[in-house]
Structure 1
Amino acid sequence: MKFSENWLRSHVSTLANRDGLAATLTAIGLEVEEVTALGDGLAGVVVGRIVEAVRHPEADRLQVCKVDIGNGEPLQIVCGAPNARVGLAAPLATVGSNVGGMSIRAAKLRGVESFGMLCSAKELGLDSDASGLLELPADAPVGQPLAGYLGLPDASIEIKLTPNRADCFSVRGIAYDVAAALGSEVAPMDNAPVPAATDATVEVALEAGERVPRFVGRVIEGVDPAAATPVWMAERLRRSGVRPISLLVDVTQYVMLELGQPMHAFDLDKLEAPVVVRPARQGEVLKLLDGRDATLDGEFLVVSDSRGGRGARAVAVGGIMGGEDTKVGDSTTRVFLEAAHWVPSAIIGRSRRLGLHTDAGHRFERGVDPELPREAVEYATRLILDIAGGRPGPVTESTVAGALAAPQPIALRRARIARVLGTEIADAEVERILRALGMDVAATAEGWQVTAPSRRFDIAIEEDLIEELARIHGYDRIPATIPAGPARVAAASETVLPEADLRRHLVSRDYLEAVCFAFVDQRLLEAWGCTEGTVPLANPLSAELAVMRPRLLPGLVDALARNAARQAGRVRLFELGRVFAADGERQPGAPAPRETRRIAAVACGQSIAEQWGQKARPLDFHDLKGDLESLAAQSGAQLAFRPSAAPFGHPGRSADVYRTDLEGGEVLLGWIGQLHPRLARALELDVDAYGFELDLEPLQQRALPRAQALSRFPAVRRDLAFVVAEQVAWADLAASVRAAAGEVLRELQLFDRYQGPGVESGFKSLAMGLILQDNTRTLTDQDADAVVSRVVAALDSSHGAKIRG
């Protein structure tokens, strides 16, 4: 929210200077992001009018102007602005003044004397526009100091509001907080009802139920179409970040900024009664004020007129933007003012679906005072009549019975204030603060009955009132105390490996931790083939963040791709986070999406960092597999790998990862492998990327450590080489070996894989070492040979493996 300092001070009187006012706003929760001083140091700058302009004899782009400043003889000014012309009123910096750090003095420009400088808005520090002279209204008083004429000095203050403070999207709403914090009062507004001068009305029908419970309108006829926005209004708008357009549009913007109620003005000659507020039809198209065509559906609300039939033509998207067909223009003399209350649930997310962000939509999404529409229409009427004349009709109001609930009183106990804040606030101070905030306060034996104004949607329970007291009384005045009471310390379970250990281990293997958005683009998931069971957001921040992620890898790979595109040759990232899946179709009141903690990593580039001690080689599947097995070893997990059919994995270079549990069964953990080349092309990834993603909870499980004596007897090793079909996985062979060897097998090592001369095509040779040991005796050769015989027989019968000759 951006506003003019002088505008705020017109609503609340305070002796605080600019810095003090900004500090107060921040202290009470209205964080000041920027303060831009305007019009400081304009002494000697006056309103001038060009009465003569001729071409400079020595320069094509310069003009020699005669400028009247009201003291008799016009001043001669050499000016290069393209909009300098006879009759133009513009700021003139006289000799001796200082503009933008430059002292103005008489000078000769290309041989022609100049006694001052005609100024642009940027040169005066009032705006960023440097395209030409600042054009003042034609009736600007010649010779008057510019600062006095424009209401300067001033400042443009921008504050950052939290979503619950929708009432501060107006100057008057901010004034209540400032008055409470600085011990002042908000000045009353003279907003008496404007009596009707005609019987002209527009019939309005509400067909959207409780989504639009109030709609207020008024017809004004005989408006002067040539009336211009007065300087004081235009400057307040400009300093609030709104560029003036035309009187009728500017009045609606001005009322919205001052009171907080968005409004719209229709050209009544382009509107056909009755007006109907209804849900949009599927596929209905409306041309908006910005020239874009909006395609709507039943979730949008529209204001429609009866051109082509009752409610047939949409003329505005409710709570967001008006339509092109009925907008006011330079020839408008009959206007229909509209101010409605659109409930937040009917507006939230609709602007983003249209690719828009409007001030009206921003306010309605957060909540606007339902009692404001009539007040706003009356105020806008008075402004239009004062500036452009006209004959108003009666105010018409349409409401939905029972849809507008009155604020309910809240019991506030003084004992509860002391309990929550840890300090007492005097009764007189409590009442002063609450009344300054616009609340009705009635004393009771235990405290007060407080009724918040209708604009304060965030006040619902006693703690909300206590928060208001703390905020205005001052957090710095609340003593810091250490909570009392017994502390309960729970020891972490030894059967669960801490996440911090996993993080430290991956960092030790040269990975960097990344934090990616929990929301992803639906199109990205389509490229990955991961659209099943996804959870779409009802109110996404943008189309690129519209779905809750079902996997960590898409976000991590996107981060890897961004780094690789910026010449990062070796990228290694990991993330611990949640993924989300829907359990069937989501319905109102249905259980929340299923959340699963996962750990994932991605890598590309060289297998080791650049150095001179080892020859560089590209990363491959086995490098990442080694990192994963090293990570699993932290919890003592035994992993098994099976060929994967995941659509995003490279065929033959990806696998599903299983963990062997304590009972000998297997639990699916996740996936490891290289990205499919087709996916890499779709992601515009020019490097071979590898990654893994595992469920975190089963990976963290570990058995309690149990001490046992080491065997006093020596181990025996037997090496075997088998020829087996190429498609047989080592994991399957290893499982058969362990089952056949029994408890005396202490370790199984695969130390060679061979294909080539001496091995039939379609087969491979695998050499393994069996480490055998018993805790009760020394194994004999006969014992070892018996184990080897069982292993050979098991591999032959189960996998067709033969001892290599």
Structure 2
Amino acid sequence: MRVPLSWLVEAVPALAGRPATEVVDLLERIGVEVDEIVSTGPADVAGLVVGEVLSFEVLEGFKKPIRWAQLRVSTKDSDDAVRGIVCGAQNFAAQDRVVVALPGSMLPGGFAITARKTYGKTSDGMICSARELGLGDDHTGIMVLPPETEIGADAVELLGLHDDVLVTEPTPDRGYQLSVRGLGRELAAVLDEDFADPGDIELPAGAEPAFSVRIEDPLGCDRFSYRVLRGFDPAAPSPLWMRARLSKAGVRPISLAVDVTNYVMLQTGQPMHAYDLDKLASPIVVRRAAAGESMVTLDDVKRDFLGDEDLLITDAERIQGLAGVMGGAYSEISAATTDVLLEAAHFDSVTISRAIRRHALLSEAGRRFERGVDPAMGPVAIALASELLTTYGGAHAEGGIGSVGSPTPLPAVEIDPAGVSRLVGVDYDTATVARRLSQVGCAVAESAGLLTVTPPTWRADLIELADLAEEVARIDGYDRIEPVLPAAPAGRGLTRRQRRRRAVSRSLAYGGYVEVPSFPFQSAEVLDGLRVPADDERRRLVRMANPLSADQSYLRSSLLPGLLATVVRNVGRGLGDVSAYECGLTFTEPVGGRQPAPVLPGARRPTAQELAAQDAALPIQREHVAVAAAGAVEPAGWWGKGREFSWTDVMDAVRVIASAAEVDITVSAAEQSPWHPGRCAAISVDGQVVGYAGELHPAVCEALELPRRTVAAELDLTSILDAGEPDPSAPKVSGYPPATQDVALTVPSTAPAAEVEAALRDGAGELLEDVRLFDVYVGEQLGEGRKSLAYKLRFRAPDRTLTVEEATAARQAAVAEASRRCGAVLRG
């Protein structure tokens, strides 16, 4: 928000004379970020005075009408009191008061004024328009001042051309900071000075307007205030001070009715809308949209509504506006409008925020409604706007202010002032706590050493002791909190689980994979590209209540969508050889759904039951690790052809993960999306499948625009880290020599080598120390559908040297078990 410092001084007189930098320090002290200070007008502007048009002569013979005007620029009796100036504008007359830039003056933008000869006359200065003064875009004619303006007065001071504008960025949950009223109250509180509340007025009395209003959706709109004004002069100009103030605030002056609603919105934080009453058909109805409805908004864009997701303002004949965001083009104020209906409503912030994102339509009204608007400010804003339109537009009010609906009052909070001191770490007395809370708008009553605090209508975020303590600390000054370095307890280092978790990540990095963390958001459609079945647990997506993007409104149930998108992005940018990995959380909904999370207290430690209820409200969260690779693992060059990534490389990555996590894995053939059915392996730990690895399905590669034969793996790291011995002991090392024997087996070609190895281990018994596959052979002499696997078996006993007979017996037992389980036959 752009806030002229002169406007803030009206609300907080104690700011008068303070430099803008000091005001910025005060705002940032209370948590209001100021992006920049903008000074309006050039620093050396001078020579702008108020002049009176004495007479003018129309110069003939030119392509456009030109006037040679005589202007009095000083009341003194001197030679230069009257100046002759050439002007092309036609909207002034004799006795009009105008702004004159004399030779030597400087206009905004560094435009220097000099005397020059033009159209056969010497123009001794310039008569200025609003745009030339930086007060708006109107360049159709010069600016005519009120007739009582003093001749020769300093126009720079009169127009407020020298002012500092603070560009502030409010915190998302403090919508009141988007107003002069809200910022002024904060500054007055931190200065401990008086605050001139522009909203502290007496509402006008009178009968409700003879116009019906009905709210059909009280959740979306809990209050609708309105008033009828008649006899409005649509040609009446906005006062100069209002146009100047709006321009400084970054709002383009348009017309009196529009300028007044914008001015009151900036002043109070309450968005307003002015309707042409003759174009409204009673009653006004606030309701949800029906499927297929549409309208043209003020920006001349047709908006299609999505059923009950949009909140509308309608009358008996048509849609008049998208509530809280933008009005319709049909009933806007025009040059023929004489009767006006003013509206100031209070809308649900969530409803408005979603509408803004759904229609990509961010307005000044929407910015305020989505952050929260004071529900009590509607009638006040109507009264302020009515007075301005009456004063400057000749309108008269028909009766009083109508109001439909009643916002739910905020509950009072009973606090112990000592609790504030404990939370903040500063010893506040009861009077200080009460005073500071009163300064932010709370009603405070003391009884028996306790304070009953009723939050103001614009502070729905104050619901418990912690919120109120933060306000006391913020206004009283964070600098009063003395930094105390807590004593660091003696640590025991990383747990074994933490060490294994880090070892997994480091091992993959050492293996040539690049870690690429991604946002934990995804769309539901990305699972279609991965060919995930409808009944797969990855389809139980967790929908976010307020997503950053409409096309990524779910928490991820798998790491692969983000990881594969990284591969696609790198390949698209010319990096064809990619190997990446990610460790992160995945989220799925429980089968039976979840209960809403309870709000935990801030003044005490939650009970075990409350913490359990919080945990039960969470989705299922599992830590996963995933790798993906495409292109060449060994680049081609003068040394050779190179080698592309294959399923063997991703299986090596899986074994690296298992080794780093200190677990044993079992590999078996499997079918699982998004992998190729014939090139997919299931990875198991202690008999439980913890993930899959292999080559991606060609259809998946095509759908996601991945390179052909991209390989990937995804493992449940939580299950892997939970497996194994919690407290491993050092291995026992035998001092006796090993006995090594080789065995060559023929097995069916479909038998996984890992299953044959497992059978050998189980059959050999405790004497077997290690099994290593050193040869795989396929040939005609083995027969169709057979392959040969050769293993080196190493035997060792902890207490003796093994005999040949013992090693041979163990080898034969291993072969027998492999024959029984895998159909293995010992080769001759």
Task: Tell me whether the two structures share a fold, i.e. TM-score over 0.5.
Answer: yes
**Cα-to-partner distance string for 1:626-675 (whole Å, 9 max, x where unaligned):** 2331222123211222334233223434322212x2xxxx1211122333
Displacement of 1:20 in angstroms is 0.7
> 1:200/1:778 Cα in 2 relative to 1: closer, same or farther (>3 Å)?
closer
**Cα-to-partner distance string for 1:77-97 (whole Å, 9 max, x where unaligned):** 9xxxxxx86659999584364
Alignment-derived partner of residue 80 in structure 1? none
Letter in 1 for 2:774: F
Contact 1:35 1:156 in 2 (8 A): yes
Which deviates more, 570-579 or 86-95? 86-95
Contact 1:66 1:75 in 2 (8 A): yes
Displacement of 1:760 in angstroms is 4.8
Instruction: Name the CA distance, whole Å, in 2 between partners of 1:505 and 1:513.
Output: 11
Which deviates more, 530-539 or 250-259? 530-539
- Match status 1:420 vs 2:423: yes
Give 3-state SS (helix, strand or coil) of 1:41's partner: coil
Alignment-derived partner of residue 41 in structure 1? 43
Q: 2:755 aligns with which of 732, 737, 748?
A: 732
Q: 2:693 aligns with which of 672, 678, 681?
A: 672
Kindly report which structure 2 residues correspond to 1:240-279, keeping only aligned pairs within 5 A, or say none.
240-279=249-288
Displacement of 1:120 in angstroms is 10
Kindly report which structure 2 residues correspond to 1:694-773, keeping only aligned pairs within 5 A, or say none.
694-701=715-722, 702-703=724-725, 704-755=727-778, 758=781, 760=783, 762-773=785-796
Letter in 2 for 1:579: T
Displacement of 1:450 in angstroms is 3.7
Letter in 2 for 1:602: A
Give 3-state SS (helix, strand or coil) of 2:334's partner: coil
Q: 2:665 aligns with which of 616, 630, 639?
A: 639
TM-score by length of structure 2 reads 0.83
Task: In structure 2, list runs of 5 or more residues that go unmatched.
Answer: 74-81, 93-97, 533-537, 598-616
Instruction: Name the CA distance, whole Å, in 2 between partners of 1:572 and 1:118.
Output: 70
Instruction: Name the CA distance, whole Å, in 1 between partners of 2:34 and 2:504.
Output: 41
Give 3-state SS (helix, strand or coil) of 2:525's partner: helix
- Match status 1:364 vs 2:369: yes
Q: 1:344 aligns with which of 345, 349, 352?
A: 349
Alignment-derived partner of residue 521 in structure 2? 519
> 1:504/1:440 Cα in 2 relative to 1: closer, same or farther (>3 Å)?
same
> 1:499/1:795 Cα in 2 relative to 1: closer, same or farther (>3 Å)?
closer
Contact 2:540 2:588 in 1 (8 A): yes
Q: 1:503 aligns with which of 493, 505, 510?
A: 505
Give 3-state SS (helix, strand or coil) of 2:388's partner: helix
Instruction: Name the CA distance, whole Å, in 1 between partners of 2:61 and 2:754.
Output: 91
> 1:51/1:735 Cα in 2 relative to 1: closer, same or farther (>3 Å)?
farther
**Cα-to-partner distance string for 1:52-90 (whole Å, 9 max, x where unaligned):** 899999xxxx9999788765444579xxxxxx8665999
- Match status 1:594 vs 2:620: yes
Give 3-state SS (helix, strand or coil) of 1:628's partner: helix
Alignment-derived partner of residue 579 in structure 1? 586
Instruction: Name the CA distance, whole Å, in 2 between partners of 1:800 and 1:119.
Output: 101
Give 3-state SS (helix, strand or coil) of 1:209's partner: coil
Displacement of 1:447 in angstroms is 6.1
Alignment-derived partner of residue 452 in structure 1? 455
Alignment-derived partner of residue 713 in structure 2? 692
- Match status 1:658 vs 2:663: no
> 1:139/1:120 Cα in 2 relative to 1: closer, same or farther (>3 Å)?
closer
Letter in 2 for 1:227: A
- The alignment of Structure 1 onto Structure 2 pairs a total of residues equal to 778
**Cα-to-partner distance string for 1:607-640 (whole Å, 9 max, x where unaligned):** 2689999974333332232233122212321122
Which deviates more, 167-176 or 571-580? 571-580
Kindly report which structure 2 residues correspond to 1:373-452, keeping only aligned pairs within 5 A, or say none.
373-400=378-405, 404-405=408-409, 407-408=411-412, 410-413=414-417, 415-425=418-428, 429-444=432-447, 446=449, 448-452=451-455
Alignment-derived partner of residue 528 in structure 1? 530
Kindly report which structure 2 residues correspond to 1:621-632, keeping only aligned pairs within 5 A, or say none.
621-632=647-658
Alignment-derived partner of residue 230 in structure 1? 239
Instruction: Name the CA distance, whole Å, in 1 between partners of 2:508 and 2:517.
Output: 15
Give 3-state SS (helix, strand or coil) of 1:331's partner: coil
> 1:161/1:734 Cα in 2 relative to 1: closer, same or farther (>3 Å)?
same
Which deviates more, 277-286 or 693-702? 277-286
Give 3-state SS (helix, strand or coil) of 1:481's partner: coil
Give 3-state SS (helix, strand or coil) of 1:243's partner: coil
Contact 1:745 1:772 in 2 (8 A): yes
Contact 1:93 1:119 in 2 (8 A): no
Letter in 2 for 1:20: E
Displacement of 1:318 in angstroms is 2.8
Which deviates more, 16-25 or 675-684? 675-684
Contact 1:46 1:69 in 2 (8 A): no
Q: 1:333 aligns with which of 308, 333, 338?
A: 338
Alignment-derived partner of residue 315 in structure 2? 305
Give 3-state SS (helix, strand or coil) of 2:551's partner: helix
Alignment-derived partner of residue 610 in structure 2? none
**Cα-to-partner distance string for 1:415-464 (whole Å, 9 max, x where unaligned):** 33433333334666545433432333445553644433221222233333
Kindly report which structure 2 residues correspond to 1:191-230, keeping only aligned pairs within 5 A, or say none.
191-194=201-204, 200-230=209-239
Contact 1:69 1:143 in 2 (8 A): no
Kindly report which structure 2 residues correspond to 1:600-615, keeping only aligned pairs within 5 A, or say none.
600-607=626-633
> 1:766/1:694 Cα in 2 relative to 1: closer, same or farther (>3 Å)?
same
Task: In structure 1, list runs of 5 or more residues that go unmatched.
Answer: 78-83, 308-312
Contact 2:42 2:106 in 1 (8 A): no
Which deviates more, 559-568 or 43-52? 43-52
**Cα-to-partner distance string for 1:115-158 (whole Å, 9 max, x where unaligned):** 8799999998889x9xx979764558898766335422223322
Q: 1:551 aligns with which of 551, 554, 558?
A: 558
Alignment-derived partner of residue 95 in structure 2? none
Alignment-derived partner of residue 78 in structure 2? none
Contact 2:42 2:108 in 1 (8 A): no
Displacement of 1:542 in angstroms is 1.9
Contact 1:51 1:66 in 2 (8 A): yes
Alignment-derived partner of residue 319 in structure 1? 324
Instruction: Name the CA distance, whole Å, in 1 between partners of 2:326 and 2:784.
Output: 72
Contact 2:413 2:464 in 1 (8 A): no
Letter in 2 for 1:524: V
Displacement of 1:686 in angstroms is 4.3
- Match status 1:619 vs 2:621: no
CA RMSD of aligned residues (A): 4.0
**Cα-to-partner distance string for 1:98-125 (whole Å, 9 max, x where unaligned):** 865686667899x999987999999988
Letter in 2 for 1:735: A
Alignment-derived partner of residue 22 in structure 1? 24
> 1:93/1:583 Cα in 2 relative to 1: closer, same or farther (>3 Å)?
farther
Instruction: Name the CA distance, whole Å, in 2 between partners of 1:240 and 1:304.
Output: 31
Give 3-state SS (helix, strand or coil) of 1:501's partner: helix
Give 3-state SS (helix, strand or coil) of 1:545's partner: coil
Letter in 2 for 1:18: A
Alignment-derived partner of residue 614 in structure 2? none
Give 3-state SS (helix, strand or coil) of 1:361's partner: helix
Instruction: Name the CA distance, whole Å, in 2 between partners of 1:55 and 1:526.
Output: 75
Instruction: Name the CA distance, whole Å, in 1 between partners of 2:674 and 2:47.
Output: 69
TM-score by length of structure 1 reads 0.85
> 1:778/1:455 Cα in 2 relative to 1: closer, same or farther (>3 Å)?
same
